[in-house]
Amino acid sequence: MPGVTDLKAQMAFYGAYHSNATNVTIHRICVPFIQWSAQVLLTLLATNPSWFPAFHYQLGPYIQFEFNWAAVQAIIYVLYFTVLHPTGALFYLPQQALSVGTAIAFAHRAPNALVIASVVQTCTWIAQFIGHGKFEGRAPALLDNIVGALVLAPFFVHLENLFDLGWNPKLHKEVQNAIGVEVTRFRRAEGDKKRAEATRKQ
């Protein structure tokens, strides 16, 4: 996977697996729910070590912050996104705070939180695989680099939403061009592979 701190390279890598408009829409809907339900599951299932600070802050009945593995995940993501693009990460920070805050509160308040989060996680992943199989015609990025794909997905969706609002058109054009190059390279490689297979069968 190219340059882990190079935003355009990372966006080109991930975007090359998401060039179909329907598949992109599915990801925009599903990725935030995948992250949120994962944060619920981390709150419920992951055991906090004794050296975690005892931090707890309640912001109304539906938003709650505490230092647990869900918070660690959120912090790591924001730090990595800050390395990729500080301004983009700053815009993403409220979204991540809302996600982890509501996830932690939901995990503690909802009687069936484990079941609901598991169903959300399962259904959104199924939807994503359908998007790739039926509309994109290409396996998900996670099959080539699972860590990179899982970490980058929320920021990719976030930046695509910002681009649609007219944010940073220069960066948007550069990313679109880089994605186009990657998609062309992939299609050329697939074409070469099919021609080679056809030649072997002759």
57-71 pLDDT tens trace? 999 889 999 999 999
Q: Is 99 exposed, middle or buried (0-12, 13-18, 19+ CB in 10 A)?
A: buried
| Confidence (pLDDT) at 182 | 86
Residue 64 domain boundaries: 7-201
pLDDT reading at 2 higher than 60 = no
Comparing 84 with 199, the larger pLDDT belongs to: 84
Confidence label for 191 from pLDDT (cuts 50, 70 and 90): confident
Mean pLDDT value of segment 98-121? 97
Whether residue 37 is contained in a domain is answered as yes
Whether residue 73 is contained in a domain is answered as yes
Confidence label for 202 from pLDDT (cuts 50, 70 and 90): low
What is the pTM (predicted TM-score) of this model? 0.89
| Confidence (pLDDT) at 57 | 94
Whether residue 91 is contained in a domain is answered as yes
Average pLDDT of the chain, as a whole number? 91
115-170 pLDDT tens trace? 999 999 999 999 999 999 899 888 777 767 777 778 999 999 999 999 999 999 99
Q: Tally the domains of the chain.
A: 1
Q: To which residue do tokens 């190059």 refer?
A: 181
| Confidence (pLDDT) at 6 | 92
Whether residue 116 is contained in a domain is answered as yes
Whether residue 195 is contained in a domain is answered as yes
Mean pLDDT value of segment 77-86? 96
Whether residue 44 is contained in a domain is answered as yes
Whether residue 1 is contained in a domain is answered as no
Whether residue 117 is contained in a domain is answered as yes
DSSP the chain: ---TT-HHHHHHHHHTT--SHHHHHHHHHHHHHHHHHHHHHHHHHSPPPTTS---EEE-STT-EEE-SHHHHHHHHHHHHHHHH-HHHHHHHHHHHHHHHHHHHHHHHH-TTHHHHHHHHHHHHHHHHHHIIIIII-S--GGGT-HHHHHHHHHHHHHHHHHHHTT--HHHHHHHHHHHHHHHHHHHHHHHHHHHHHHHHH-
Confidence label for 89 from pLDDT (cuts 50, 70 and 90): very high
13-52 pLDDT tens trace? 888 888 889 999 999 999 999 999 999 999 999 999 999 9
